[in-house]
Amino acid sequence: MNTSYKLHVALLMATSSALAILAPGFANAQQATSGYEIGEVIVTAQKRSENILDVPAGVSVVSTKILEAVHATQLTDVSSYVPAFQVDSGGSAGQTTISIRGVAPIGRASTVATYIDDAPVGSSTTYNGGNSFQLDLLPYDVERFEILRGPQGTLYGASSMGGLLKYVLTTPSLDKFSAQVGGDLIGVSGGGSVGGGGRANISGPIAEGKLGFVASYAIEHTPGFIDNAVTGQKDQNSVQQQSARLGLYSDITDALTVKVNGLWQRTKTHGNASMPLSNTTLRPLFGDLQDNNLTDQPFQKTIKFISGAIEYKGEWAEVISSTSYADTSVSQTQDASYTYGVAFPFLGLPAAGKSVYCYKLGLEKFTQELRAQSIGSGRLQWTVGGFYTYEDSTNFQSPSALTMANVPIPGVDPIFSAQLPSTYKEYAAFGNVNYSLTDRFELFGGLRYAKNKQVFSEFATGIILAAPISLPNQKSDETVTTYSAGARFKFNSNTMVYARVATGYRPGGPNLAIPGVSPTFNSDSLTNYEVGIKANTPNNMFAIDTAAFLIDWKDIQLLTSAGGGFNYVVNGSKARSEGVEANVTIRPLEGLDVNGTFAYIHSVLTDNAVPAGGVKGDRLPNVPKLSGSISVSYTRDLFEEWSGTAGFGLRMVDDRLSDLTSAPFSRRLPGYAALDLNASATDGRYTLRLFAKNVTDKRAYASYSVLNNQATGAVTQINAAIIQPRTIGAAVDVKF
């Protein structure tokens, strides 16, 4: 029985189980991890507060309740409970790649935009690792995640062609003090130590009714569970996450509101949660939870973020100014012994050796958005605005040349050293209108015009270069227009159908200076067509959110190699992603919630992609055809003021490919299903939780990295990042 067939059977069994749960006589339920909530769930997907069931687009919400139930410490803990939302880990929190609706992470730049409240974070360009190091906040003090599926280019601009991930922070109270402290202990299968963390939050008025604050701090330590079969090091992949926040909220007058937030987060790891696999059998080379890296592989990502928002409400419109500054740094050290070290004999050296690849990124990003939008409930609703961003990026990378005794090799070390600084400026104007022809039928549309200018420099030296490179101030500029249009029809206050077409893009930019290579590459873009239905019953017993979509992607930014490890970007090929996504929630009994998600995605090239080794019909990488989840929760009174909740969640992912089907280094990642359990008891002040992730200790792969000899091109091994093994823990929180 192949894995894909097993997954189909698992999905069928999960659905059957859900129906069985609904049968009369069910007396015990277990806690779910729902990615969707019934009722008046307010989101800001269209940059105005509205009920999620009224938004004519695919939107999911992951609330604080869900984050706490599954003890979420990173995006991979919750992503499988959101339809068509794929998050792949490169080995730890912070080494994260995101795709939505099959818009695969091809190229270096991200296809999914990330926001904190109203401010974008992350690089817009191809030279700052935006695709591989997505923002992965420790979610304490986060009120909810909003995931918008499909391009959001009209309201959110560049790099939102696949969709949007928005972190919505908690808002302090202006009239009531509150405080919360908590802690947890966890154990991970294969780990030699106990992990855990602590957190604290305080919020309340400074001037009652006028000015409030929130302050929080959280730290989480996840123990390592990967041993080194070569060096003997134990538990080498431990992770520490820290997050701190200070926020102010002021109602200066009834019409004027000011919000200020400062946030700091650092993710620090000592190594990767990965195992080397055989290139021929795809089996572990050294056994379960064993790596063979010859050098340490620490990783650190730090973000310092400041934002301010001013909102003024007039009689017929409100004006919002949103300003942000973010300073992000990434330091990644990779063992390159199996790529560069094995190539030393081809450089004239007597034997293979070790190599450390040092990769450092820096990004300072300033953004300013000013928009005005209508208020009230008239037939015409509108939004107009302008946006500006300035990004200053640094990119340093260098592989070393060491003997097996860790001694630098004279004349060879470093193999090369490269610095790739760049700046990015973008100006944009946008507008959206919604017009209700009747009380039930509404038309909507939007337009965004954006112009960006980039300056890119390239400096490099090293033994593999024919001559040093010094090319300052290479430039590019382009203008891009995106649009959206559609219609929405309400059968009644609880049922809505919609049709939508929308476009999105990733910016182009200057290229590496390589003979015969175009000095610039263009933006790629896509057009998304979708129809959907959203409905819930008046008594909130049932809700459904489902859509069918078709996405045409053109001028895809493809990476191709010039040899020696140097990659450049070319535009080429077309692709199509089509599928169905759904989220269903049922409440058949008081206290019982049943939630299911499902996505079918067929994402393939519709033209040859020669530079990337792909041919027409190839599946796009890292996109499962099928994915879904089933989760159930049951809450009941226990005694006095105490209530209890128990539940489970089963998350399922079909098989994927590490690259385009025909690409020379493409390998298949098997599908998997993982079971999560949790239980809690609370009296409103004290909350006790038990949780277990990946209960069956399923060994599954989140991503592949194919390593090859840089001199011969031969594959040396495949590094497979694994999903976290069985993790069991307990947590307590106290509110004051």
Task: Express each pLDDT in 244-286 by its tens digit.
Answer: 999 999 999 999 999 999 999 999 999 999 999 999 999 999 9
Angle at 561 between CA 559 and CA 565, to 5 degrees: 115
Residue 339, pLDDT above cutoff 50: yes
Q: pLDDT-derived band of residue 565, with 50, 70 and 90 as boundaries?
A: low
What pLDDT, on the 0 to 100 scale, is given for residue 46?
Answer: 79
Q: Specify the 3-state DSSP secondary structure of 18.
A: helix
Query: CA Rg, the chain, in Å?
Result: 25
Mean per-residue pLDDT, 455-464: 92
Residue 563, pLDDT above cutoff 60: no
Q: Are 509 and 454 in contact (CB under 8 A)?
A: yes
In total, how many domains does the chain have?
Answer: 1
What pLDDT, on the 0 to 100 scale, is given for residue 627?
Answer: 97
Q: Are 528 and 151 in contact (CB under 8 A)?
A: yes
Over residues 113-162, the pLDDT tens digits come to: 999 999 999 999 988 888 889 989 888 889 999 999 999 989 998 989 99
What pLDDT, on the 0 to 100 scale, is given for residue 653?
Answer: 96
Which of 507, 435, 577 is CA-nearest to residue 149?
Answer: 577
Q: Specify the 3-state DSSP secondary structure of 17.
A: helix
Residue 32, pLDDT above cutoff 60: no
Query: What residues make up the domain containing 720?
Result: 3-735
- Residue 588 C-alpha from the chain's centroid: 33
What pLDDT, on the 0 to 100 scale, is given for residue 69?
Answer: 87
User: Which of the 8 DSSP states describes residue 341?
Assistant: G
Say how far apart CA 415 and CA 406 lie, in whole Å: 15
Chain mean pLDDT for the chain: 90
What is the reported pTM? 0.91
Q: Specify the 3-state DSSP secondary structure of 481.
A: strand
Answer positive or negative: Cα dihedral of 50, 54, 58, 59.
positive
Residue 513 has a CB neighbour count (10 Å cut-off) of 16
- Residues above pLDDT 70, as percent of the chain: 94
What pLDDT, on the 0 to 100 scale, is given for residue 34?
Answer: 38
User: Which of the 8 DSSP states describes residue 7?
Assistant: H
Mean per-residue pLDDT, 511-516: 81
Residue 566, pLDDT above cutoff 80: no
Residue 109, pLDDT above cutoff 70: yes
What does the buried/exposed string (b/e) look like for 482-492 if buried means 16 or more CB atoms within 10 Å of the residue's CB? bebebebebee
Q: pLDDT-derived band of residue 96, with 50, 70 and 90 as boundaries?
A: very high
For 289: left if phi > 0, alpha if psi spans -120 to 50, otherwise beta; the answer is left
Residue 70: φ, ψ to 5°: -95, 5
Q: Specify the 3-state DSSP secondary structure of 223.
A: coil
HEC profile of 297-317? CCEEEEEEEEEEEEEEECCCE
Q: Are 616 and 605 in contact (CB under 8 A)?
A: yes
N- to C-terminal Cα distance for the chain?
Answer: 54
Residue 237 has a CB neighbour count (10 Å cut-off) of 26
Looking up tokens 């989760």 gives: 631
User: Which of the 8 DSSP states describes residue 694?
Assistant: S
Over residues 660-691, the pLDDT tens digits come to: 999 989 999 999 999 999 999 999 999 999 99
Q: Are 530 and 180 in contact (CB under 8 A)?
A: no
CATH code of 535's domain: 2.40.170.20
Strands 112-116 and 163-169: parallel
Kindly write down the DSSP assignment for every residue of 240-263, as one continuous string: EEEEEEEEEEEESSSSEEEEEEEE
Over residues 588-603, the pLDDT tens digits come to: 999 999 999 999 999 9
Q: pLDDT-derived band of residue 10, with 50, 70 and 90 as boundaries?
A: very low
Say how far apart CA 360 and CA 685 lie, in whole Å: 44
CB contact set of 493 (below 8 Å; sequence gap of 6+): none
Residue 414, pLDDT above cutoff 70: yes
What pLDDT, on the 0 to 100 scale, is given for residue 638?
Answer: 95
Kindly write down the DSSP assignment for every residue of 513-554, as one continuous string: --TTS-SEE--EEEEEEEEEEEEE-TTSSEEEEEEEEEEEEE
- Residue 5 C-alpha from the chain's centroid: 28
Q: Are 140 and 199 in contact (CB under 8 A)?
A: yes
Over residues 175-227, the pLDDT tens digits come to: 999 999 999 999 999 999 999 999 999 999 999 999 999 999 999 999 999 99
Q: Are 573 and 553 in contact (CB under 8 A)?
A: no
**Which tops the pLDDT comparison, 4 or 298?**
298
HEC profile of 643-690? EEEEEEEEEEECCEECCCCCCCCCCEECCEEEEEEEEEEECCCEEEEE
Q: If 0-12 CB within 10 Å is exposed, 13-18 middle and 19+ buried, where does residue 637 land?
A: exposed
What pLDDT, on the 0 to 100 scale, is given for residue 648?
Answer: 96
Instruction: Please report which residue ranges of 30-73 form alpha helices under DSSP H.
Output: 64-69
